């Protein structure tokens, strides 16, 4: 399979701050890859390096085999970038924003105009074609950012939090749109704080935390590795402290001791049920739910010990 993005031992410093430390990751052509991490983790910095907007201190970064430093124009043209912040030229209309961008990538004028009109139509911005971006609503600006990223038909689409501040309906539309684009062969590299969104869309996930990669694997495998089923057990009377025989299980007591929350690992449910029975506690209800990517993500970010798990 062809490698779309290859980052090897990348480090990047902003003066004394090490924003990225020894990051290595690859994205195959045709993949839908999710790049997650808390605020300040280094996601946008990584994207800036990929798109040639930032230099770096060490490592090698390639896009479809081309070096982002020595073959900048080639690699940049392979990528459509939806940046985290709006960075439109305030003096251009929506349509000009698209045609100028196409021109920058060498699309002939006539074709640029056609594509701009097509994309404006697709993203329901035709009515705003002749308006400056400041006259657009937040969601419209997001749509224009995505349209602009696509105007030169890139092989890779990199989206840095494309659904921030986007309403529910538009978000669902964007999901469908991105799925379709990916099906047709576009490689997608998505950053988002909506973990559920990544879980729905991405087949593989990388998690970055304080500049370092802490997880890199298929979405389902990551969820399973990081977290067992989530158990919530409701008692008929309150429990003041967890019985000694199940102390080894990390149980959280909630609702003034009426609710026990823990994870199904090493037969925890069976052990807890036995202990409750032996101590005369009656159970009102028990809920068990499958873990989500959010459970896995929170654990990776909160508990550094888990990073070493196989």
Report the partner that residue 42 touches, choosing among ligand ATP, Mg ion, none (CB closer than 5 to 8 A by kind): ligand ATP
The nearest distance, CB 252 to ligand ATP, in angstroms, is 28
Structure tokens at 145: 């950012």
If one asks whether residue 39 binds ligand ATP (CB under 6 A), the answer comes out as yes
Tokens representing 198? 């990544």
Cβ nearer to ligand ATP, comparing 42 with 162 = 42
# residues near ligand ATP by CB under 6 A: 12
What is the rounded CA–CA span in Å between residue 228 and residue 9?
Answer: 32
From Mg ion, ligand ATP, none, interface partner of 19 (C-beta below 5 to 8 A by class): ligand ATP
The mark string for 68-87 relative to ligand ATP (x by CB under 6 A, - otherwise) is ----------------x---
Interaction of residue 209 with ligand ATP, rule CB under 6 A: no
Burial class (CB in 10 A: 0-12, 13-18, 19+), 196: exposed
Distances (CA, A) of 81 to 48, 280, 289, 308: 10, 61, 37, 33
Largest Cα–Cα separation, the chain: 80
Toward ligand ATP, which CB reaches closer, 43 or 259?
A: 43
Mask of contacts with Mg ion, 64-93, x by CB under 5 A?
A: --------------------x---------
Q: Identify which range of 5-13, 44-52, 219-227, 251-259 contacts Mg ion by CB under 5 A.
A: 44-52
Stretch that binds ligand ATP, among 14-22, 58-66, 116-124, 243-251 (CB under 6 A): 14-22
In terms of CB distance, is 95 or 209 closer to ligand ATP?
Answer: 209
Which residue from 21, 25, 41, 44 is in contact with Mg ion, where contact means CB under 5 A?
44
204, interface contact from ligand ATP, Mg ion, none, CB < 5-8 Å by kind: none
Tell me the C-alpha distance between 83 and 217, whole Å: 25
**Is position 45 an interface residue for ligand ATP (rule: CB under 6 A)?**
yes
Asked if 192 interacts with Mg ion (CB under 5 A), we say: no
Residue number with CB closer to Mg ion (208 or 242)? 208
Check binding of 44 to ligand ATP (CB under 6 A). yes
Cβ within 8 Å of residue 275, ≥6 positions away:
243, 245, 246
Distance CA 72, CA 81 (A): 14
Segment near ligand ATP (CB under 6 A); pick from 12-20, 89-97, 180-188, 264-272:
12-20
Could you list the residues that contact Mg ion (CB under 5 A)? 43-44, 84
Could you list the residues that contact ligand ATP (CB under 6 A)? 14, 17, 19, 37, 39-45, 84
């Amino acid at each position: 399979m062809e490698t779309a993005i290859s980052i090897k031992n990348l480090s990047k410093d902003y003066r004394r701050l090490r924003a990225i430390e020894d990051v290595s990751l690859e994205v195959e052509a045709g993949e839908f890859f999710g790049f997650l991490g808390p605020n300040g983790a280094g996601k946008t910095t990584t994207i800036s390096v990929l798109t040639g907007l930032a230099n770096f201190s060490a490592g090698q970064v390639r896009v479809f085999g081309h070096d982002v430093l020595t073959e900048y124009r080639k690699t940049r043209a392979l990528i459509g970038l939806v940046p985290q912040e709006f960075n439109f030229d305030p003096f251009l209309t929506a349509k000009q924003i698209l045609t100028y961008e196409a021109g920058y990538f060498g699309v002939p004028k006539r074709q640029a105009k056609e594509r701009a009109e097509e994309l404006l139509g697709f993203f329901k911005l035709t009515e705003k074609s002749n308006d400056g971006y400041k006259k657009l609503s937040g969601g419209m600006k997001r749509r224009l950012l995505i349209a602009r990223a696509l105007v030169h038909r890139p092989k890779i689409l990199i989206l840095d939090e494309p659904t921030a501040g986007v309403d529910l309906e538009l978000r669902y539309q964007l999901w469908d749109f991105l799925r379709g684009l990916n099906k047709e062969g576009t490689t997608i590299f998505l950053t988002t704080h909506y973990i559920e969104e990544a879980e729905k869309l991405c087949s593989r996930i990388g998690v970055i935390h304080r500049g370092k990669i802490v997880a890199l694997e298929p979405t389902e495998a990551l969820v399973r590795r990081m977290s067992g089923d989530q158990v919530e057990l409701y008692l008929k009377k309150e429990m003041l402290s967890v019985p000694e025989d199940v102390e080894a299980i990390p149980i959280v007591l909630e609702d003034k001791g009426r609710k026990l929350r823990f994870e199904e690992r090493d037969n925890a449910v069976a052990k807890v049920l036995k202990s409750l029975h032996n101590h005369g506690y009656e159970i009102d209800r028990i809920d068990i739910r499958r873990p989500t990517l959010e459970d896995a993500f929170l654990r990776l970010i909160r508990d550094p010990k888990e990073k070493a798990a196989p």
